[in-house]
A = this chain, B = another copy of it.
Amino acid sequence: MSVRETTGQSQGIALSDLDTALAGVVGDARVLDSRSVADRATSFWNSAPMQARALLMPSSTADIGAILEQCNGAGQSVLTHGGLTNCVTAVEPTLDDLVLSTEKMTDIVEIDPIGGTAVVEAGAVLQNVQEAVAGEGLYFPLDLGARGSCTIGGNIATNAGGINVLRYGMMRNLVLGLEVVMADGSVMSSLNRMLKNNAGYDMKQIFIGSEGTLGVVTRAVLRLYPEPRGRQDALVAMTSVDRVIAFLGLLQREIAGNLSAFEIMWGSYYRAVTGENGHRPPLDREYPFYVVFQAEGSDPAADDARFEAVLEQAFEEQLIADAVIPKSAAEARAIWEIRENFEPALIAPPYYLYDVSLPIRHMAEYVKAVEENVDAQWDGGTCITLGHMADGNLHFFVAPGEIGDFHPASDRCVYEPLQQYGGSVSAEHGIGLEKLRWLPHSKSDAEIRLMRSLKRTLDPNDILNPGRVVGS
């Protein structure tokens, strides 16, 4: 997954006084005017030319402080850009917006193997951080399909989830310290390096998952783990959700400390991404459910044996119908590609991506309701389903099978049956602009009031990612 981007050098549109002042902060070479900005794609999901008043590439926290101070004074809206893999229309600027890109702030400043911490700049790409700490025998467990593009700053702003949440938690659990530039340009430094720090309110929590609306993350202290010695992976086919739940329970009891990922794919998804134009299917394509899962441990031989024994037990208990255990890293990569690379399913736009969570025990019933809604709405509509099952998190791609803007209708298919289960309209992608009208489905009035009150307190001029999450 990489952002479709072309870089141009064209110049042209005259800069206003504010723009001149901002160019003075970062230097002319670090400014793209609106014409040059248009050489970039809007986002990973939208290849249309990016529209923005200008794009700045600051190289330091101080730069960002100076930029925001001026923008706050001028009431200039600012959108922060990381890897542009956001899924909820949070990063798309208009010609009125200034873009602050963290692409020149990619340093991995320090790795402390004893404390198990890394200090990194916001623009560092997730995969680069993973690889840099692996070089020191350490492990940064946040992992998601967008690893090659998404940035640590974006991961923090969105409280990213991904495939290892079950064992290691979301990004929130992996951030020990944070440096943030506030809307007025002041710097809030909270670069704690300890696992435990209860000296006063933990202010960093406010910014994690705020989607850039409360401050701009510039630097973070990340929590690292020892690198696992070995991994076990498998892809299994199953015949009912009850069996999937029972199998998850079995794994949680039997290899609890090692289980790091447990991903469910409905048959609809598996069939959409495998076959002629997709991945090679390692298991027959007619099963209703597939699970790909992973364990990580420190005693590879014993862990392998235990992993296979548990799979054997699952066969005996008739929980799983078929299974494949990869015999090499390449084979393991191939089964994960089925889960992570969903591009073969995206052949006929429009399609709409969803990211809901709900208690696991209601999942089967809920997915059935969504499928029925999609069937009732469109003759040729399809709904393909997958998710981080153990976290209660499901993703859907809904494809109406007709050309047109069916987003609102599709939203109703997915969100309306969700509320009765106390579900969330966003498990990990966030709200952005896209889900704004559905926020009251998952948050109480009191919570939304409190969110707005916080936004007013921290960004009174509403310059930071305006309109996102809390509206305007």
Asked if A431 lies at the interface with its beta carbon under 8 angstroms from chain B, I say yes
- Lowest 3 CB-CB distances: which A-B pairs, in order? A257-B257, A205-B205, A199-B442
The 8 Å CB contact of A444, one of B172, B189, B435, is B189
The 8 Å CB contact of A115, one of B208, B359, B444, is B359
Q: How many residues of A contact B (CB 8 A)?
A: 93
Which of A189, A194, A254, A447 is packed against the most chain B CB atoms within 10 Å?
Answer: A194
Assess the A192–B424 pair: CB atoms within 8 A: yes
Assess the B357–A429 pair: CB atoms within 8 A: no
Asked if A391 lies at the interface with its beta carbon under 8 angstroms from chain B, I say yes
Assess the B209–A198 pair: CB atoms within 8 A: yes
Asked if A296 lies at the interface with its beta carbon under 8 angstroms from chain B, I say yes
Q: Which residues of B contact A95 (CB under 8 A)?
A: none
Assess the B446–A200 pair: CB atoms within 8 A: no
Asked if A306 lies at the interface with its beta carbon under 8 angstroms from chain B, I say yes
Asked if A132 lies at the interface with its beta carbon under 8 angstroms from chain B, I say no
Asked if A190 lies at the interface with its beta carbon under 8 angstroms from chain B, I say yes
Q: Which residues of B contact A330 (CB under 8 A)?
A: none
The 8 Å CB contact of A196, one of B202, B214, B253, B357, is B357
Assess the B252–A226 pair: CB atoms within 8 A: yes
Stretch at the interface among A21-29, A402-410, A450-458: A450-458
Q: Which residues of B contact A186 (CB under 8 A)?
A: 446
A378-419 contacts to B, CB under 8 A, are 388, 390-393
Asked if A427 lies at the interface with its beta carbon under 8 angstroms from chain B, I say yes
A224 to B210, alpha carbons, bound, how many Å?
26
Q: Which residues of B contact A196 (CB under 8 A)?
A: 161, 165, 170, 357, 388, 391-393, 424, 427-428
Assess the A298–B451 pair: CB atoms within 8 A: no
A69 to B458, alpha carbons, bound, how many Å?
26
Assess the A202–B198 pair: CB atoms within 8 A: no
Asked if A443 lies at the interface with its beta carbon under 8 angstroms from chain B, I say yes
Assess the A197–B442 pair: CB atoms within 8 A: yes
The 8 Å CB contact of A197, one of B206, B228, B427, is B427
A215-256 contacts to B, CB under 8 A, are 225-226, 228-229, 245, 249, 252-256
A243 to B208, alpha carbons, bound, how many Å?
37
Which of A186, A187, A192, A298 is packed against the most chain B CB atoms within 10 Å?
Answer: A298
Assess the A430–B306 pair: CB atoms within 8 A: no
The 8 Å CB contact of A439, one of B199, B446, B450, is B199
Asked if A265 lies at the interface with its beta carbon under 8 angstroms from chain B, I say no
Asked if A358 lies at the interface with its beta carbon under 8 angstroms from chain B, I say yes
A187 to B446, alpha carbons, bound, how many Å?
7
Q: Which residues of B contact A444 (CB under 8 A)?
A: 188-190
Which chain B residue shows the least CB distance to A176? Answer: B392
A143 to B249, alpha carbons, bound, how many Å?
24
